[in-house]
Amino acid sequence: MWVGNGEKQSVFFLPPLPILGQSLFFRDWLIKKNTGRADDRVELLDVKPRLFASYIWYSQGGEFQVDEKETHPSDEYNTFSKLYAFAERMQDSGTKEKAIDAVLARYRKLDFKGERTTPDADTVKHVYRATPGPCGMRRLMVDIYAWGLPPDWTESPMGDDRFPRLFSREVMDRVVEM
């Protein structure tokens, strides 16, 4: 598999069985390859090799890995949401569920001040850009903000301009439902 583009491109040689158990994308590719309707080469040129390596690690080992450099909660939220979006693309419902569990576990952890942290605006934007319509990760982001609405959201009834308008509306709708 060729992942990434230019100097940052990496080649991954993977046994098909662990991936087949997780991803409909790869299962369909293997069926097409075996019937002569697809190349031997899978190219994911718009995917960062590091993200793909994290995805493969999960599909073969079952545990989400966060780079040691990523110690800030925002980085963890960002990593798990990117894994969710990639799993969506790979049609891998098991990895999507695990990514949701990882975000929820991160939310439940308290920071060094004893407070909960929420995903930052960049993470929420990525989730809304990279996922189709209503999905589990979007619902979780909305619920996290509705449960613990940050104080800076109370100044504007439609939320903060850093967040997608649809997200802000969904948070407000969720607060009203509660």
What was the pLDDT predicted at 1?
A: 67
Per residue in 42-62, pLDDT tens? 777 788 888 888 887 776 666
30-39, 47-56, 83-92, 167-176: the lowest-pLDDT one: 30-39
Per residue in 51-99, pLDDT tens? 888 887 776 666 665 555 556 667 888 888 998 998 898 888 888 888 8
Confidence at 157, pLDDT banded by 50, 70, 90: very low
141 has pLDDT over 70: yes
Q: Indicate if the alpha-carbon torsion angle 168, 87, 61, 2 is positive or negative.
A: negative
What was the pLDDT predicted at 98?
A: 87
Mean pLDDT over the full length of the chain: 79
Residues, the chain: 178
Q: Are 103 and 142 in contact (CB under 8 A)?
A: no
Distance between CA atoms of residues 106 and 80, nearest Å: 10
3-state secondary structure of 170: helix
Domain ranges in the chain are: 1-63, 69-178
**Residue 91 identity (one-letter amino acid):** Q
Tokens found for residue 7: 């100097």
